Amino acid sequence: MSVSFPPGFLWGTATAAYQIEGAVREGGRTPSIWDTFSHTPGKVENGDTGDVAVDHFHRRADDVRLMSGLGVNAYRFSVSWPRVQPTGRGPAVQRGLDFYRALVDELLDHGITPVLTLYHWDLPQELETAGGWPERDTAYRFADYARIVAEALGDRVDRWTTLNEPWCSAFLGYASGVHAPGRTDPVAALRAAHHLNLGHGLAAQALRTALPARGQVSVSINPSAVRARTDTEADLDARRRIDALANRVFTDPMLHGAYPADLLSDTEHLTDWSFVHGDDPAVIRHPLDSLGINYYAPSVVSAATDSDLPPERNDGHDGTRSPWPGADGVAFHQAPGDVTDMGWPVDPTGLYDLLMRYTREAPGLPLVITENGAAYPDKPGYDGTVHDPERIRYLHGHLSAVHRAMADGADVRGYFLWSLLDNFEWAYGYGKRFGAVYVDYDTQARVPKSSARWYAELARTGVLPDC
């Protein structure tokens, strides 16, 4: 049976600055932590970097036309902090702001709603050199930068997102070290999580002050749909611990104004959390206009037994250190079923569960799926076309789950396919293709895959057909 989404639903695609822009030395841009990290041997597959990426900085207008051809009505992109405020302090660089102003104007000319993310992981390197997210000052620097961008673009951008996936910034960046800046210090990761939260709250305040009344403020998290392998007490406790470190460390202060007591006691052998100052939780709990949810796959955990992987490998990632401070006795397991090219299980019920969880936890707060999608090893056929039926199946399954959640009461306002284009997939380099549009990295030619056509039809009609 086909199902319909309501009129006004946002059908978008998503990207991030470092993954697509290239032009890393142009217009006064200074290096971000991802420039430094990707240029460090051994950190990114194949030695790939974002130096050129998909050259979106120079192909911006063509890429907006491409999007318009796909019929999407929204586009989620991120602003590169070191492009608009080199080194992360002081005045903005006009050329950097001009790039985003031109992008936004072209989107608006094509009837595409811009959805702007301020921070998708590209911290100016100078701020990392000064201590990075584990230092409190970074949160204040982030709020300054938010004000600069809001003052420049607030007249034409209504939808603002502070952070993308603070979990990845804090725990992959500072604990497992598989993301920039590549540190492996569990206490630094907990400090980073708090200062990302604080930066979110301060930036949200700065946005409210700088934006016109119609401006909307959000944050995009990547909550984990975490399941216990069995319902033994030990496995349920493993789930509780990972839920605290994956989800509640962000959503409890953001939605409820306090850190979870169990998180503080689970990590008390590492830190006393004295880096949380008295008013911080109140600052972090800034009323939001929507909550962005990025979802790819669920996680399955248990209490570790002797036959499980050693704790340092117990992270569900390729890193050598765990991204989970204080969760040494927890083991991760592959969920059953098909996997994507990332090795991530395909399981839309995780998305359904998360939408229902936040519907219960934050009644009245609209939800937006700000990322969902899958990597497959797409290749052009003999005639140059790219067929990706697995991606269509993945999207269909997840959109069916979204529809089911909406029928069960979730107030979901939009869906953003990750990603518009194949691009630089962080530590995996260019080896993993998430795009609805194929990119030939030698020529930068763009070829819409069959999923792009399928998605265009969905965006046009709002009707999800039978698969």
CB 356, CB 405: distance < 8 Å: yes
Point out which residues pair with 369 in neighbouring strands. Answer: 293, 415
CA distance 308 to 224: 21
User: Considering only 84-92, 152-160, 161-169, 322-330, which stretch makes contact with ligand FCB by CB under 6 A?
Assistant: 161-169
Residue listed under structure tokens 């009644």: 363
Beta carbon nearer to ligand FCB, 259 or 344: 344
- Per the rule left: phi > 0, alpha: psi between -120 and 50, beta: everything else, 186 is alpha
Pairing, β 299-303 against β 330-333: antiparallel
Min dist CB 439 to ligand FCB, Å, is: 15
CB 411, CB 456: distance < 8 Å: no
Among 122, 128, 243, 425, binds ligand FCB (CB under 6 A): 425
Residues that contact ligand FCB, how many (by CB under 6 A): 12
CB 3, CB 467: distance < 8 Å: no
CA distance 422 to 431: 10
Beta carbon nearer to ligand FCB, 210 or 368: 368
- Residue 92's SS3 state is coil
CB 150, CB 107: distance < 8 Å: no
Tell me, yes or no, if 371 is annotated catalytic: yes
C-alpha dist (Å) from residue 181 to 47, 174, 345, 376, 426: 16, 7, 27, 27, 12
CA distance 168 to 77: 18
User: Considering only 193-201, 354-362, 418-426, 447-455, which stretch makes contact with ligand FCB by CB under 6 A?
Assistant: 418-426
Q: Does 252 bind ligand FCB (CB under 6 A)?
A: no
Min dist CB 258 to ligand FCB, Å, is: 26
Q: Does 167 bind ligand FCB (CB under 6 A)?
A: no
In the structure encoding, which two tokens stand for residue 301, read together?
């955990």
CA distance 273 to 435: 40
User: Considering only 164-172, 409-417, 446-454, 457-465, which stretch makes contact with ligand FCB by CB under 6 A?
Assistant: 164-172
Nearest of 259, 143, 237 to residue 190 by alpha carbon: 259
Footprint (CB under 6 A) of ligand FCB, residues 21-50: none
The torsion angles phi and psi of 406, rounded to 5 degrees, stand at -65, -40
Tell me, yes or no, if 165 is annotated catalytic: yes
- Sequence-distant (≥ 6) Cβ neighbours of residue 174 within 8 angstroms: 132, 133, 134, 181, 183, 184, 185, 188, 189, 192
CA distance 57 to 66: 15
Q: Does 222 bind ligand FCB (CB under 6 A)?
A: yes
CA distance 334 to 308: 12
Among 434, 438, 454, 455, binds ligand FCB (CB under 6 A): 434
Min dist CB 409 to ligand FCB, Å, is: 27
Q: Does 13 bind ligand FCB (CB under 6 A)?
A: no
Among 371, 378, 388, 422, binds ligand FCB (CB under 6 A): 371
Min dist CB 181 to ligand FCB, Å, is: 17
Min dist CB 460 to ligand FCB, Å, is: 26
Min dist CB 180 to ligand FCB, Å, is: 12
Among 17, 168, 331, 436, binds ligand FCB (CB under 6 A): 168
Nearest of 148, 127, 149 to residue 138 by alpha carbon: 127
Beta carbon nearer to ligand FCB, 154 or 199: 199
Beta carbon nearer to ligand FCB, 48 or 425: 425
In the structure encoding, which two tokens stand for residue 119, read together?
């921070």
Of the residues 371, 390, 425, 457, only one is catalytic, namely: 371
Min dist CB 107 to ligand FCB, Å, is: 19
Q: Does 376 bind ligand FCB (CB under 6 A)?
A: no
Of the residues 165, 361, 390, 425, only one is catalytic, namely: 165
Min dist CB 111 to ligand FCB, Å, is: 25
Beta carbon nearer to ligand FCB, 204 or 297: 297
Footprint (CB under 6 A) of ligand FCB, residues 293-352: 294
Beta carbon nearer to ligand FCB, 57 or 121: 121
Footprint of ligand FCB on this chain (CB under 6 A)? 16, 19, 164-165, 168, 222, 294, 371, 418, 425-426, 434
Which residues participate in catalysis according to the annotation? 165, 371
